[in-house]
Amino acid sequence: MSETTTVTETGGTSDPLGDETLAQRALALDAADELGEHRERFALDAGTVYLDGNSLGALPAHVPARMADVITREWGELRIRSWDESGWWTAPERIGDRIAPIVGAAPGQIVVGDSTSVNVFKAVVAAARLAGEGRDEILVDATTFPTDGYIAESAARMTGHRIVPVAPAGMAGAAGPRTAAALVNHVDYRTGRLHDLPGITAALRAAGALAVWDLCHSAGALPVGLDAHGVDLAVGCTYKYLNGGPGSPAYLYVAERHQAAFDSPLPGWNSHSDPFAMTPGYEAAAGAVRGRVGTPDILSMLALEAALDVWDGVAIEDVRAKSLALTDFFLECVRAYVPEGRVATVTPEAHGERGSQAALSCANAPAVMAELIRRGVVGDLRRPDVLRFGFTPLYVGFADAERAARILSEVLTDLPA
């Protein structure tokens, strides 16, 4: 567990009156929830509390029909014509512009395609090149998702830089005249801790370095403000809170001010200024298109595009307000129901430091999560001892939170400590 993690002991004794009161409150909160009507737009079953949207978002119910049309008509009938007539060729930028308002970006700065890992590589190498001569270190979030660290190390070897692991809380103070860039996770994947994107970005820019943010656990769950906070480059996946589907393509944000000098380490024919000229020499296209590489994965790309329809008319600020209310209520229920000493909260209590998940440390966590799933509460875990519960406000309600905490208490009572 990292030194920046907050651990709070939690536990209590349930009684029938307390249980009834929390259950009644949950129903009242759901009745007043203005986002609650969006739940019907997802394929969910009444017997399951799905709290793993921070790993794989639920299926928007209209996506299968859209994909049937893509496969039978656009591919089956129009075939090659669909690159033009169905807009396949422009999908990476078009879908990027749909993601842009969710993460606080103006149009023309996000391109969709490839995996998060590939986009991390593009962003880190490009940031090191943009920083120029005399800056030979890349700061990396010491608590980062492992792949980000692996990719950053490879990018450093390729560009002649050295990696400096730094806890996010110390990132601002670590940046100096030799710092080219920093790769930071907006939300910690284990604990759900929200890191200070505005403050860290400002400190990096003041030091002359570039800020590269991984938004995998924040985009679609809370306001990001890429443009407002002066972020240089960012990457993120689309299969968590954006509900794009398993393995759906990731995205790359390149701030408009960097696009003319953005030098991708993976130049491909899709990012060429004249891709169908098929010339041997590479000339980069203008704008965020420079982030493209090869032929996009159209089926998963268009499934993502359809999934983004659930965001029509939704304000990310409302999503954030419900997310905080849900996680507050869940943790309150855990304190009321779970036997004392059986779990400890590792997600920060402070709203300004919390993403959209609640993480609990627990002995015998793998067995506990397996039994929770068997009883209809689907979360996940990070070994050795962290239970993770992701709260996706578009389809998770307060009754879900209460039920999950109550069943967790039952599981912990039934299993040996």
> What residues are annotated to the active site?
145, 214, 239-240, 388
Contacts with 345 (C-beta within 8 Å, 6 or more apart), sequence order? 6, 7, 8, 9, 10, 331, 334, 358, 359, 360
Angle at CA of residue 173, ends 216 and 352, nearest 5°: 45
Angle at CA of residue 325, ends 321 and 326, nearest 5°: 115
DSSP 42: B
What 3-state DSSP class applies to 373?
A: helix
**Cα–Cα distance measured from residue 94 to residue 132, given in angstroms and rounded to the nearest whole number:** 31
Contacts with 167 (C-beta within 8 Å, 6 or more apart), sequence order? 2, 3, 4, 141, 142, 143
Phi-psi sector, 386: left (phi>0), alpha (psi -120 to 50), beta: beta
Assigned token pair, 24: 């009644």
Report the 10 Å Cβ neighbour count for 112.
Answer: 30
